[in-house]
Chains A and B, each alone.
Chain A
Amino acid sequence: MQTDTKSKIDQTTSPSGNPVTVLRFEGDISSASKEAVIGSYQSLSKATVKTVLLDFTKVEYINSSGIALVIQLLMEAANSGQKVLAFGLSAHFQKVFTMVGITKYAGLFPDQTAALATV
């Protein structure tokens, strides 16, 4: 009964000319989102992808199991030497991500332009 999570992978370039991979999520992020979150991340090449942006613009509901998946993604990215940034979270989920400490390992930005400006 949990809502499906859709994910899409885009490639873009930062204003500094660095390649950036964007994982765009849509729907809920919950325990049912493992394939969308972890599966899509693991499909990226660890050799060539150095910066990953997580797009939460079209996500309305994230629960603690979904946050745990984001942390799992951050763990794998840290072990691979990849930088992860996130954008598009509502003010509430920015607060929740900050409360659980995710901001220590992933910068949060209001939109893609602001995130890309730091890469």
Chain B
Amino acid sequence: MTATTARTTTVEVRLPSRLGFEKVAMSTAASVAKLMGFREERIEDLKTAVAEACINAIEHGNRLNEKLSVGVTLSAGTDQLEVKVMDDGKGMKNLPIKPDIDRKMHGEEDPRGMGMFLIQALVDEAEWVVGANGKGSYVRLVIRLDKEQA
């Protein structure tokens, strides 16, 4: 689905809560970013961030319940792309922490759990919003066009 206002073009995708379908959102985000003129390096950053946000929504938000879907809204403005990934979960209580590879290698930290860190590290803005009544949470990502790209 696509909608355009004076300054923002919006693309919406709904994904089943099944691992692997994050690649649909990833490809859509990459296509939109390419149309906006983002450099290839930034598109790769965006793809990983969007994929990780969708995986979190599928696994933790919707707990792999295929009756629930993950909503992805891409809002392309003049100088930035905003991505919202929505699920039916209660939201993330903890903010991302930098993974400690030494602790992971020594079995003191779960080898997994890097998704939120990667999201935050690869985009210009990332925020996790808890939905009202403990449902309908989302993560909001923003990636900005560099001045020379805009």
The answer to whether A binds B is yes
Residues of A within 8 A of B (CB): 1-3, 30-32, 61, 63-65, 67-69, 71-72, 74-75, 78, 90-92, 96, 99-102, 104-105
Tally of contacts, chain A with chain B, CB under 8 A: 73
The contact sample of 25 A-B pairs, CB cut-off 8 A, is A1-B19, A1-B21, A2-B19, A2-B20, A3-B20, A30-B19, A30-B20, A32-B20, A61-B23, A63-B48, A64-B112, A64-B113, A64-B114, A64-B115, A65-B55, A65-B112, A68-B110, A68-B111, A71-B105, A72-B111, A75-B107, A78-B105, A92-B44, A92-B45, A101-B100
Contacts of B102 in A (CB 8 A): 101, 104
Interface of B is mostly: helix
A67-B114, A68-B111, A92-B41 given; A74·B19 CB < 8 A:
no
**Residue from B41, B104, B121 with most neighbouring chain A CB atoms (10 Å):** B104
Contacts of B19 in A (CB 8 A): 1-2, 30-32
Residues of B within 8 A of A (CB): 18-23, 41, 44-45, 48, 51-52, 55, 99-102, 104-105, 107, 110-115, 117-118, 121
